[in-house]
């Protein structure tokens, strides 16, 4: 009588275990993967500035599925001034901001939740894609790999900008001045169905606190489809606006040709300058 083969069941067990293990992590063997920008790589300052350090982000190779970074944003109406926005202040700024952050936070720096469609996650909570004035944000952010990206919403800048490289530079005389090489941030004016195109007010689309931006008559899918109101405020109380920005890596699945995403990270919640 021949020797009993015990390897077959053991190998089968390993295959099943591996499949279950990697499936539980959300990433199957051979499934394309996009690196995240981790929370440790983002520095936030008060309510007006943030820096993303992409110097350690892996440079994509020819076979890498990575394509670009996407930044999702949403604007929130508020009646309070917060000098330093942190997760503890979100509910004070606007309860919906806190709810939206809670929805997204489970994915931030997660070691188990991979392969989630972040376009759907953010679209479901009414976030839109950040744009730049006179520049392709996808190309600009891709070129920023290996550098730092600064976001400046400070009142001194007047118009919120994104800076690739240092926030301040030497003017040649030993004085630090704001880096003049910047990109003006723009609000979206369209989104995928069912939202479609919309007409932001004011029509310059810049991230500036204004009467039109806060006007409840414009907070709808026709005009300010990127704004969340705060219930129960009088006209005099509608004084402030804040923008939450999140970043994700985006790539293409070579099998399905659909988009794939990294896990997200919060860039900051910025107060919009007047």
C-alpha 22/C-alpha 9 separation (Å) is 20
**22 pLDDT above the threshold of 60:** no
**129 pLDDT above the threshold of 60:** yes
pLDDT at 15: 42
pLDDT at 52: 97
**7 pLDDT above the threshold of 70:** no
- Residue 2 in any domain: the answer is no
**23 pLDDT above the threshold of 80:** no
**What radius of gyration, in Å, describes the C-alpha atoms of the chain?**
22
Q: Which domain holds residue 261?
A: 31-271
Average pLDDT over residues 223-234: 96
**90 pLDDT above the threshold of 70:** yes
Strands 66-78 and 227-228: parallel
pLDDT tens-digit readout, 188-204: 999 999 999 999 999 99
- Residue 72 in any domain: the answer is yes
Which among 217, 241, 223, 274 is positioned nearest to 94, based on CA atoms? Answer: 241
- Residue 195 in any domain: the answer is yes
- Residue 24 in any domain: the answer is no
The residue written with tokens 């909570």 in the block is 125
Entry pTM: 0.87
**108 pLDDT above the threshold of 90:** yes
- Residue 79 in any domain: the answer is yes
What's the number of domains the chain is made of?
Answer: 1
pLDDT tens-digit readout, 35-87: 999 999 999 999 999 999 999 999 887 667 899 999 999 999 999 999 999 99
- Residue 3 in any domain: the answer is no
**131 pLDDT above the threshold of 70:** yes
- Residue 70 in any domain: the answer is yes
Strands 168-170 and 176-178: antiparallel
C-alpha 60/C-alpha 53 separation (Å) is 16
- Residue 164 in any domain: the answer is yes
C-alpha 183/C-alpha 164 separation (Å) is 9
């Amino acid at each position: 009588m021949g020797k009993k083969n015990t390897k077959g069941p053991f190998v089968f067990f390993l295959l099943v275990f591996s499949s279950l293990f990697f499936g539980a992590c959300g990433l199957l063997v051979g499934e394309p993967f996009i690196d995240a920008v981790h929370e440790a790589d983002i520095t936030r300052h008060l309510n007006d500035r943030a820096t993303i350090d992409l110097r350690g982000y892996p440079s994509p190779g020819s076979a890498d599925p990575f394509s670009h970074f996407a930044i999702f944003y949403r604007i929130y109406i508020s009646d309070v001034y917060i000098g330093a926005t942190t997760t503890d202040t979100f509910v004070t700024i606007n309860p919906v901001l806190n709810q939206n952050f809670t929805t997204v936070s489970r994915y931030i720096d997660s070691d188990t939740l991979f392969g989630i469609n972040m376009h759907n996650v953010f679209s479901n909570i009414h976030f839109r894609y950040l744009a730049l004035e006179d520049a392709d944000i996808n190309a600009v952010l891709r070129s920023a790999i290996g550098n730092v990206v600064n976001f400046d919403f400070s009142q001194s800048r007047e118009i919120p900008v994104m800076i690739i490289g240092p926030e301040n530079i030497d003017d040649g005389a030993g004085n630090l001045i704001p880096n003049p090489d910047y990109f003006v941030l723009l609000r979206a004016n369209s989104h995928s169905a069912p939202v479609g195109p919309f007409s932001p007010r004011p029509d310059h689309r810049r991230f500036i606190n204004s009467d039109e931006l806060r006007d409840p008559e414009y907070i709808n899918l026709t005009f300010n489809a990127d704004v969340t109101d705060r219930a129960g405020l009088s006209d005099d109380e509608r004084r402030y606006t804040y923008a939450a920005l999140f970043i994700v890596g985006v790539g293409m699945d070579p099998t399905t040709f659909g988009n794939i995403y990294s896990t997200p990270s919060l860039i900051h919640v910025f107060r919009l300058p007047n």
